[in-house]
Amino acid sequence: MRLVPVLMALAVCVGLWFWIVPANGQQVAAVDAPAAGADPRGEAPAVKVVAFRSQAQDVRNAIVLRGRTEAHRLVEVKAETAGLVVSDPLRAGAHVQAGDLLCRLDSGSREAQLAEAQAKLGQAEADAEAADTLAQRGLTAENTAKARRAALEAARAAARAIQLDIERLEIDAPFSGVLETDSAEIGSLVRTGDVCATIISLSPIEIVGFVPESEVDELSVGMPAHARLVDGRTISGEVAFVSRSADQTTRTFRVEIEAPNPDQGVRDGMTAEILIPVASDQAHLAPQSALTLDDSGVLGVRTVAEGEGGAPEARFEPAEILREDEDGIWLTGLPAEVAIIYVGQEFVADGRALDVTWKDWDGAQ
């Protein structure tokens, strides 16, 4: 009775063997057979891209800074003596020339003081002359003559001090410019050190910026420079000063550019973008969209290269950004002649066959 189950198990195993082995053979054959429509040589189909041919150009490199305009001179003209203002005030915005009167102060009792000092000076001169004569004759001591001469010098100094004080009653413009504030009002009391008027000179105008330490060695006094103001105006001048000491906080160096401003139309404190041309480089102009990264994260572009048999294929070329402008980006580190892919570059790798559509590209589109 035990033989029957054994025979039945054997029959089931034989049946399963005949059912599984032929199926596996068909699957292996299906895997080994080439797919319908595939390249029998195993090559991937060409990828469609858009590219343009570029020739390297001489590009004037430049250092670009953010800065501001500053007055060539700005001075608070202060009184050197005290007194009441007796002149009519000049209003803010008035143009003045060097030496023009800004404020006149009342002389008060200074004329009387000067007359007294001059009288004392005359007496001292007579005393000194008489003492010298007597000393020469031996009728008085030499020390007496020296004391009289000392008194004479003191009288001269006193008279001169009063004369200088009278001259300071008229406060003049130290240079040509424009009044930034009204001059002192008539009848107001001005003390020593009080401001009579603020005068500003905007011709020439100075544009001040701060250059990083990595670029400061490229600058020197006398280099041409350009600035674009917030209102769109452009002015040109030259570098007048490059600081030798860095700002302790920002580690940048102050740069001053001097530019003509004959009509004084450029004001003090305007924001400006400063461009200072430096050495030129060979570069390619390309759209920003052409930039990509390779597998190691290096920045560059995909280009069209000649593969086996002359067929176009993709090739990665590392590049560096020289600068950006309105038309695109300028790239260095590429061959003098190169075909840059700017549509479809993200879908190809080195050596991938390409189906290239050529288009001209010469600026932002």
CATH of domain 64-72+202-278: 2.40.30.170
pLDDT, tens digit, for every residue of 228-271? 999 999 999 999 999 999 998 999 999 999 999 988 889 999 99
Which segment of 44-58, 93-107, 127-141 scores lowest on mean pLDDT?
A: 127-141
Written as six digits, the tokens of 155 are 């009288």
- Which residue would you say has higher pLDDT here, 10 or 264? 264
- pLDDT band, residue 15 (cuts 50/70/90): low
Note the pLDDT of residue 3: 59
Note the pLDDT of residue 26: 46
Number of CB atoms found within 10 A of residue 278's CB: 13
- pLDDT band, residue 30 (cuts 50/70/90): very low
pLDDT, tens digit, for every residue of 175-218? 999 999 999 999 999 999 999 999 999 989 999 999 999 889 98
Range 271-293 average pLDDT: 89
- pLDDT band, residue 119 (cuts 50/70/90): very high
Note the pLDDT of residue 37: 38
Note the pLDDT of residue 7: 62
- Euclidean distance between CA atoms 162 and 22, whole angstroms: 130
Written as six digits, the tokens of 344 are 């479809």
Residue spans per domain, the chain = 47-59+282-358, 64-72+202-278, 75-104+172-201, 107-168
Note the pLDDT of residue 28: 38
Percent of the chain with pLDDT over 70: 87
Using alpha carbons, select from 274, 276, 277, 267 the residue that is nearest to residue 228.
274
Contact 197, 179 (CB under 8 A): yes
- Euclidean distance between CA atoms 162 and 171, whole angstroms: 16
Which segment of 12-16, 122-126, 290-294, 296-300 scores lowest on mean pLDDT?
A: 12-16
- Euclidean distance between CA atoms 55 and 135, whole angstroms: 100
Looking at the domain 75-104+172-201, which fold is it? OB fold (Dihydrolipoamide Acetyltransferase, E2P) (2.40.50)
Note the pLDDT of residue 279: 74
Contact 328, 365 (CB under 8 A): no
Strand 170-172 to strand 101-104: parallel, antiparallel, or no bridges (unpaired)?
antiparallel
Number of CB atoms found within 10 A of residue 69's CB: 22
Task: Give the amino acid at 235.
Answer: I
**With helix as H, strand as E and coil as C, how does 286-319 read?**
ECHHHEEECCCCCEEEEEEEECHHHCEEEEEEEC
Range 276-305 average pLDDT: 89
pLDDT, tens digit, for every residue of 311-338? 899 999 999 988 787 888 989 999 999 9
* Residue 25, helix vs strand vs coil: helix
Range 98-103 average pLDDT: 94
Domains 47-59+282-358 and 64-72+202-278 alike in fold: no
Compute φ and ψ for 266, nearest 5 degrees. Answer: -90, 125
* Per-position DSSP letters for 139-195, written without gaps between them: SS-HHHHHHHHHHHHHHHHHHHHHHHHHHTTEEE-SSSEEESSPPPPTT-EE-TT-E
C-alpha angle 161/162/164, rounded to 5°? 65
- pLDDT band, residue 31 (cuts 50/70/90): very low
41: pLDDT strictly greater than 50? no
67: pLDDT strictly greater than 70? yes
- pLDDT band, residue 27 (cuts 50/70/90): very low
Give the C-alpha distances (Å, rounded to integers) separating 92 from 144, 183, 225, 272, 308: 59, 8, 32, 25, 79
**pTM for the whole thing?**
0.58
- pLDDT band, residue 308 (cuts 50/70/90): confident
Range 116-143 average pLDDT: 86
Question: What mean pLDDT, rounded, does the chain reach?
Answer: 86
Range 104-112 average pLDDT: 92
pLDDT, tens digit, for every residue of 132-158? 888 888 777 878 888 888 999 999 999
Direct distance between the N- and C-terminal alpha carbons of the chain, in angstroms, rounded to an integer? 92
Looking at the domain 47-59+282-358, which fold is it? 2.40.420
Range 121-139 average pLDDT: 86
- Euclidean distance between CA atoms 265 and 61, whole angstroms: 29
Q: Decide yes or no: CATH 3.30.420 for domain 107-168.
A: no
